[in-house]
Structure 1
Amino acid sequence: MSEREHRSPGSWGPCADARLHIVTGKGGTGKTTAAAALATALASGGRRTLLVEVEGRQGVAALLERSPLPYEERTMLSAPGGGTVSVLAADPESALMEYLELFYGMRRAGQALTRLGAVDFATTVAPGVRDVLLTGKATEAVRRRKGHRGRPSSAPAGTPFAYDAVVMDAPPTGRIGRFLNVNAEVAGLAKVGPVHDHAARAAEVIRSDRTRVHVVTLLEEMPAQETADGLDELAGLGLHPGAVLVNMVRPRLLGDADLEAARAGTLDRASLAAGLAAAGLPEPEDLAAGLEGELHTHAVRTELEERVRGELTALGRPVLEMPRLERGSGEQAVQRLARALTDQGVGR
């Protein structure tokens, strides 16, 4: 695994009080990995977090190298200081049946709807219904008090929350605005009744100043531009952008002077060959020629990454970096990325 000294141009401070952390990002940026690492970092110090997956991909199970997860909140990760991360792979059908049972005692009605195919029909014809159910499940977990599933108002005053934080592995940036704004739209269309109430409660949590939407990106031009566009869209919808989570950051191998020489093609090849010969490597001259080309490529890529890093910093959001993992997978990888986030202030 290659790691680097993490630079944090921003600060986690503005996000520290959030209870719902929504993670989005362009496809291929490692959104699910970043969400799992963030949930683990937030659980440090003995806290409890819930990681909710809403896209039905079983991405968290694949990441942790586990079997597909059932619809239940299952503790799957530990954090320093005794903290725990529970994971929920949410799906619209199960969310609807749970909602009917918790709030109306109508589980049989949900089962009947399932047998008739009404849930699949509704979520296909009106995709907004699906998103209302999924966001509603995540926001219910945010509002839930210990020992009191269902209406939070049923809990005695002062009852602590069931989870210290909830992290949602949300859809990518191309769909995140519509996904998060669906409850406000549905609440406006359905003026009264249970659908209105359900959507209004979810919209209230999503638009709360204790909710932050974080964007995962790479030090590449296209993901960075999509990050900027996504943050603008979120702000335009009245939502609260959070941090920019830069994933797969490569280590910087050379100092400024050597990087410039490598980029300009003015490295001393004879010195490279002498160093390789001193290390006992065969055919040092040929190796030096190949190494010179590799260093040039590294210098050009580093120059691009520094420019993109500056553009991300200029967005005015906290910028946190996670290293590129050359080795390690599953829970081990998530734990190492979580430590990188903790080092930058997350969960402290």
Structure 2
Amino acid sequence: MSRLQVVSGKGGTGKTTVAAALALALATEGKRTLLVEVEGRQGIAQVFETESLPYEERKIAVAPGGGEVYALAIDPELALLDYLQMFYKLGGAGRALKKLGAIDFATTIAPGLRDVLLTGKACEAVRRKDKRGRYAYDYVVMDAPPTGRITRFLNVNDEVAGLAKIGPIHNQAQAVMRVLKSPETAVHLVTLLEEMPVQETADGIAELRAARLPVGRTIVNMVRPAILDETDLELARAAPRAAVAKSLSAAGLGGARRGGVAERLVEPLLNQASEYAERYALEREQRAVLQGLDLPLHELPLLAEGMDLAGLYELAKELRQQGIS
């Protein structure tokens, strides 16, 4: 497994939930995982049912087997102060710039600077080692921007390295891209078995490959259980109304006579079967499209009880059972 796991996906596909489940799955068996948020939505805090995350690495969960999940919500302004201190030793001068509003101005106005800081902070966590030379984290999982802008977000340091030909900015940008374009990184895309998310996933994979960024896996989220197979669907389509009413009557749902309870249930049941057949066919088509993308494909179930902390651990277990560990 690559040490930097980037998780993207179209809005509404549950990419933050999948990123959190992935962090838990990778932290099992005593591993340490850092889950990084870059969009300022505090989505990680919501998923783990904890208070808003500060700009510091904080333990938020314990995984099966004693592993630990830490989380970090990256603040671009504070990340820029770290950057200025690291390369220019500004110290108190950097804090003064923040008070004057210069830091906020820079991260808002300067093209690409915000993304440079966000990716740089995540890659620093990937490279960081302790005094004994061991990596501080076994894995870093990034809850990244949506599919539509993930390639530009990850590739921004390439542009910066081209603009700044020498100096610490050039060196930092190159160091970040060495991580992002190496086997240390894998970019996973989260989707649903629906036409628009699947198309956006296919387009995103093509863009990532064109930019020579390492694509990892496709993860289908919120997959509904199969109720009827092909044989049952054919039977439902071909079943005469009278036979269905008779079967309902035999099951104790009232007489099959005209206007009876069984008779009144026939139409809604057949309509529901028809709707299910349409959805089943659509999902089968979209699954075939995803399988044609030549990437490992994983599916996570739609949780009947809704998404909570227990459900998050259930999804993490599902990912491990499917070989993501």
Q: Which residue of 1 aligns with 2:238?
A: 266
Report what 1:178 is aligned to.
152
Q: Cα gap change, 1:229/1:284 in structure 2, threshold over 3 Å: closer, same or farther?
A: same
Q: Which residue pairs with 1:29 in the alignment?
A: 13
- 1:9 is matched with none
CA-CA distance at 1:65 after TM superposition: 2.9
1:81 aligns to what? Answer: 65
So what's the TM-score if we normalise by structure 2? 0.92
Distance in 2 between residues matched to 1:270 and 1:225, nearest whole Å: 42
Partner of 1:113: 97
- Larger mean Cα displacement after TM superposition, 266-275 or 200-209: 266-275
Superposed counterparts of 1:279-318, under 5 Å:
280-281=252-253, 283-318=261-296
Give the distance between the partners of 1:275 and 1:109, measured in 2 at CA: 81
Corresponding residue SS for 1:179:
helix
Structure 1 residue 132 displacement after superposition = 0.6
Q: CA deviation at 1:161?
A: 0.6
Aligned residue in 1 for 2:258? none
Q: Does 1:95 align with 2:79?
A: yes
User: Quick check: 1:38–1:341 contact (8 Å CA) kept in 2?
Assistant: yes
- The residue that corresponds to 1:232 in the other structure is 206
Q: 1:77 to 1:260 in 2, by over 3 A?
A: farther
Paired with 2:288 and 2:136, the residues of 1 have a C-alpha distance of 39
Q: Is contact 2:155-2:177 (8 Å) kept?
A: yes
Candidates 294, 298, 310, aligned match of 1:332 = 310
In 1, distance between residues paired with 2:144 and 2:112?
15
Q: Structure 1 residue 63 and structure 2 residue 47: aligned?
A: yes
How far apart are the structure 2 equivalents of 1:281 and 1:122?
70
Distance 2:165 2:5 in 1: 28
Query: Per-residue displacement from partner, 1:220-263 (whole Å, max 9, x unpaired)?
Result: 1111111111101001001111100101101000122112333x
Deviation at 1:320, TM superposition (A): 0.5
Question: Partners of 2:104 and 2:304 in 1: how far apart?
Answer: 41
Superimposed CA distance per residue, residues 156-199 of structure 1 (whole angstroms, 9 cap, x where no aligned partner): 5xx21111111111111111111111111101211122222221
1:256 aligns with 2:234: no
1:76 and 1:278 map into 2 onto residues whose CA distance is 55
Q: 2:116 aligns with which of 119, 126, 132?
A: 132
- Of stretches 273-282 and 85-94 in structure 1, the one that deviates more from structure 2 is 273-282
8 Å Cα contact 2:191/2:201 also seen in 1: yes
- Tell me by how many angstroms 1:107 deviates: 3.4
Residue identity matched to 1:334: L
Deviates more, 1:323-332 or 1:34-43: 323-332
Letter of the 1:89 counterpart: A
Q: Which moved further from structure 2: 222-231 or 94-103?
A: 94-103
Q: Distance in 2 between matches of 1:98 and 1:286?
A: 69
Query: What's the secondary structure of 2:183's corresponding residue?
Result: coil
Q: CA deviation at 1:99?
A: 3.1
Change (3 A) 1:279 1:185: same
Residues 251 and 103 (structure 1), Cα distance of their counterparts in 2 relative to 1, 3 Å cut: same
Q: Which among 54, 61, 65 is matched to residue 38 of structure 2?
A: 54
Gaps of 5+ in 1: 1-15, 147-154
Whole-Å separation in 2 of the counterparts to 1:253 and 1:98: 54
Structure of higher CA gyration radius: 2
Alignment of 1:181-260 (within 5 A): 181-260=155-234
Q: Percent identity?
A: 56
**Number of residues of Structure 1 aligned to a counterpart in Structure 2:** 319
Task: Determine the C-alpha separation between the residues in 1 that align with 2:265 and 2:321.
Answer: 38
- Shift in Å, 1:46: 1.4
Q: Secondary structure at the match of 1:66?
A: coil
8 Å Cα contact 2:87-2:168 kept in structure 1 = no
Aligned-pair distance for 1:117?
1.2
Q: Is the 1:77–1:331 contact (alpha carbons within 8 Å) kept by the matching residues of 2?
A: no
Q: Give, in whole Å, the separation in 2 of the partners of 1:127 and 1:58.
A: 24
**Secondary structure of residue in 2 paired with 1:315:** coil
